[in-house]
Each structure stands twice: as structure tokens, then as C-alpha cells.
């Protein structure tokens, strides 16, 4: 989704202008969308949520391979009631800066996709003022990205708790029937049998941390495999993809428009 990540530089990008309202063509091939805990219930209404092997956080299945996001219409509009934070934050990302000492506070550099259509118009909003300092818009973007990064870390912790209780099991998922069936491998789902057999103390710990809510939202989201947007697209496909080949990187992406 990110094609030309560039660190924002006060001198080099002094005249850069950002236009928020752009089509979602950049996400047309994004079939796996990282999800954080604060948005899991809203995402679960729209898309199946799974736990890909090797991923720190759950991922929403937004389309079917090879690279077709069912939620991006031909016009570039997003189809659905909720747009995941990973998509909305594009075209910005934070990059951690090296620490001089281990005790130093972690600092980050602002990155942007220089190839994004958001920067093509000279009529957009400035990210830097005349002195090269962040504008109110850029400060807002930075805060959104920091919040998302923290939520990503928290969500990874919740997934680790599910793993500790052996609640995630590998399972192939089949969409469609007959010649149109597609089998997706490389993912995990919550083992409901193990969940039901947990001791009260373990259930209470998962409840208090938020991991239990994450698990339940995931289970409910799987109904989208039967009647969600992705199902209608999957009926036309015949490939047998492996999600392990599709997942990679941490570049998950906010509409900063008001």
C-alpha cells in the first residue's frame, strides 16, 4: 500500500500540501487489514477477522486474493459502514529513531508516501509553517499515529494472552461452494471448545485485560464469511491462496479530514 515512504524534512518539503479527500484506490489490493482492539467491534460488523500466523495483531479479511479488496469500488469509494484505522491513516506512518542510550525516550520520524495522490495538488493544506514547524494539522496527524501505535502494542499483548491460553488454532477457511470454492490457509481462529473449558480465574483475567472481548468479536465476525461483502466477491474466484504469502510488514494505515 505504501510505495514511496519518505521522511518528512522541514527544508525539502516546506511547500508540501496535503489534500485529505482522495479515493481509496491505494487500498485496492489490500486484502488483509491489521486491526487494533479499540476498533474490533466495528470491524467485526463488516469483515471476517482472523489471526494470521506470524502476525502480532488480528487482521480483517477485506477481499480475496489475488489482491482484490472487495470494499473498494471501481469509483474508488469505500463500501461499508466502517473504514479500518489502517486504511484511514494512509499516507502517513511513524518510523522509530535510533536511541543514543537505552534509557532515552523513544522518538519517531514522520513518514509519508510521496507517491500518494494526497500530495499532488498545490491547493492542499500545509504540513509545515513558514518556520518549518509542524502545523496544527500535522500535530493532529502525529497524535493519531502515536495513539494507533500504542493501540497496536496493546492489541499485540492481548493476542499474546490468547496464545498463552492456547485459544488460537490453525484452520483453513473455505469460501464458496463447488468450482467456486476458495480455501484460505495460514490463519488461526479462536478454539471455542477450549474457550468454554477455561477455568473461572483464567476467564476473569482475559475479561479484565480485554482479550476476551477481542476473542468474542472475532468469533462474531466470522459470520461475514457467509453473508458479507467478501462472500459475493469470493464466489467469482477460483484460486487457492495462502495468506502466509500475502501478509508482510507493519505498514498498517486515518482520514485526517476534520
| Residuewise pLDDT in 10s, the chain (258 residues) | 999 999 999 999 999 999 999 999 999 999 999 999 999 999 999 999 999 999 999 999 998 766 889 999 999 999 999 999 999 999 999 998 888 788 788 888 999 999 999 999 989 999 999 999 999 999 999 999 999 999 999 999 999 999 999 999 999 987 766 776 778 889 999 999 999 999 999 999 999 999 999 999 999 999 998 888 887 654 444 344 444 544 444 444 444 544
**Residue 31 covered by a domain:** yes
**Residue 255 covered by a domain:** no
- Would you state the pLDDT for residue 65? 64
Q: Which helix (H) or strand (E) holds 108?
A: strand 108-113
Q: Structurally, how many domains does the chain consist of?
A: 1
**Residue 254 covered by a domain:** no
* Three cell numbers, residue 181: 470454492
**Residue 252 covered by a domain:** no
Angle between helix 136-164 and helix 211-221 axes, rounded to 10 deg? 90
Look at residues 49, 23, 50 and name the one whose alpha carbon lies nearest to residue 118: 23
- Would you state the pLDDT for residue 233? 58
**Residue 257 covered by a domain:** no
3-state SS of 4-38?
CEEECCCCCCCCCEECCCCCHHHHCCCCEEECCHH
The pTM assigned to this predicted structure is 0.85
**Residue 119 covered by a domain:** yes
- Would you state the pLDDT for residue 252? 41
Look at residues 31, 55, 93 and name the one whose alpha carbon lies nearest to residue 251: 93
Domain extent, residue 23, equals: 5-246
**Residue 127 covered by a domain:** yes
**Residue 82 covered by a domain:** yes
- Would you state the pLDDT for residue 183? 80
Rounded to whole angstroms, the Cα distance separating 81 from 144 reads 21
- Would you state the pLDDT for residue 91? 98
Amino acid at each position: 500500500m505504501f510505495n514511496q515512504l519518505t521522511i518528512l524534512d522541514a527544508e525539502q518539503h516546506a511547500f508540501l500540501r496535503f489534500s485529505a479527500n482522495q479515493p481509496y484506490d491505494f487500498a485496492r489490493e489490500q486484502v488483509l487489514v491489521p486491526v487494533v482492539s479499540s476498533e474490533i467491534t466495528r470491524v467485526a460488523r463488516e469483515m471476517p477477522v482472523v489471526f494470521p500466523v506470524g502476525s502480532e495483531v488480528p487482521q480483517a479479511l477485506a477481499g480475496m486474493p489475488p489482491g482484490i479488496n472487495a470494499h473498494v469500488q471501481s469509483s474508488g469509494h469505500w463500501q461499508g459502514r466502517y473504514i479500518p484505522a489502517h486504511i484511514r491513516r494512509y499516507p502517513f506512518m511513524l518510523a522509530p529513531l535510533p536511541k543514543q542510550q537505552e534509557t532515552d525516550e523513544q522518538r519517531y520520524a514522520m513518514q509519508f508516501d510521496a507517491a500518494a495522490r494526497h500530495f499532488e495538488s498545490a491547493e492542499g493544506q500545509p504540513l509545515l509553517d513558514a518556520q518549518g514547524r509542524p502545523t496544527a494539522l500535522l500535530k493532529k496527524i502525529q497524535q493519531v499515529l502515536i495513539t494507533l501505535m500504542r493501540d497496536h502494542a496493546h492489541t499485540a499483548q492481548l493476542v499474546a494472552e490468547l496464545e498463552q491460553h492456547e485459544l488460537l488454532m490453525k484452520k483453513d477457511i473455505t469460501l464458496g461452494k463447488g468450482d467456486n470454492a476458495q480455501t484460505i490457509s495460514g490463519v488461526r481462529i479462536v478454539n471455542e471448545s477450549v474457550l468454554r473449558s477455561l477455568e473461572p480465574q483464567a476467564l476473569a483475567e482475559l475479561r479484565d485485560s480485554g482479550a476476551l472481548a477481542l476473542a468474542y468479536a472475532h468469533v462474531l465476525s466470522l459470520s461475514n464469511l457467509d453473508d458479507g461483502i467478501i462472500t459475493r466477491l469470493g464466489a467469482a474466484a477460483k484460486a487457492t491462496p495462502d495468506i502466509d504469502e500475502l501478509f508482510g510488514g507493519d505498514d498498517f494505515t486515518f482520514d485526517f479530514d476534520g
